[in-house]
Amino acid sequence: PAPGPLQGKKVLVSAGPTYEDLDPVRFLGNRSSGKMGFAIAAAAAGMGAEVTLVAGPVHLATPAGVQRVDVRSAAQMHQAVFAALPADIYIGAAAVADYTPRQPAVNKIKKSSESLALDLMRTPDILAEVAAQTQALQLVVGFAAETENVAGYARGKLEAKRLDMIVANRVGIADGGFESDSNAMTAYWKDGERAFASAPKTELARQLMQLIVERLQA
């Protein structure tokens, strides 16, 4: 690892979407490209951390010095994250599916009736489970992707999931959020917040990692 303020720290980052299979040819996914999480992994490695990056299906090169584990579904991401623990810092930037088909079809679902209902069940909340670990991490950071009431929902998730920090971004807008190379976001913790103005995700990741170093020392 490079010399830096995170030398000796183990940082675990999740990135990208998950794909939940409906049948052998179809899945439920989302628009996450993985760019935000990959930039965070690169920034943490640049600050001297030992970084493991659990990545959903994305088309991105592995950042230098980062150990990458590829997964597809929420269940696989859950397993890979827990296999990579213990860590000092967890940063959940992945857009994990909240629901998955209860029983993926063995064969391709055939077109027949006029409508089709899917039977979905909740996936485990990886972030909340990591935050509830008995072997406590020093800092657990979640993301909140919201289309409205960004601050309110973010603070709600900070408390409900017992996180040390949540980073909220607005999604469903033309520039920023999913897929885009740039983003704007606000980090919230118990007694503070910091807004990050719109910038390339690589730059935002460096600023966020600097804040995380400050909060570790606080």
Residues that bind ligand PMT (CB under 6 A): 14, 32-36, 74, 92-96, 98, 123, 125-127, 142-145, 157, 169, 171, 177-179, 201
In angstroms, what is the minimal distance from the CB of 184 to ligand PMT? Answer: 10
Known catalytic residue at 30: yes
Residue with smaller CB distance to ligand PMT, 101 or 177? 177
In angstroms, what is the minimal distance from the CB of 6 to ligand PMT? Answer: 20
What's the rounded Cα separation, in Å, for the pair 166 and 38? 18
Q: Which residues contact 148 (CB under 8 A, 6 or more apart)?
A: none
In angstroms, what is the minimal distance from the CB of 64 to ligand PMT? Answer: 19
Residue with smaller CB distance to ligand PMT, 46 or 48? 46
Would you say 42 and 205 are in contact if contact means Cβ atoms under 8 Å apart?
yes
Indicate if the alpha-carbon torsion angle 65, 69, 72, 77 is positive or negative. Answer: negative
First to last CA, the chain: 24
DSSP classification of residue 7 = T
In angstroms, what is the minimal distance from the CB of 66 to ligand PMT? Answer: 16
Q: How many residues does the chain have?
A: 218
Residue with smaller CB distance to ligand PMT, 95 or 137? 95
Residue with smaller CB distance to ligand PMT, 48 or 171? 171
Residues acting as catalytic residues: 30
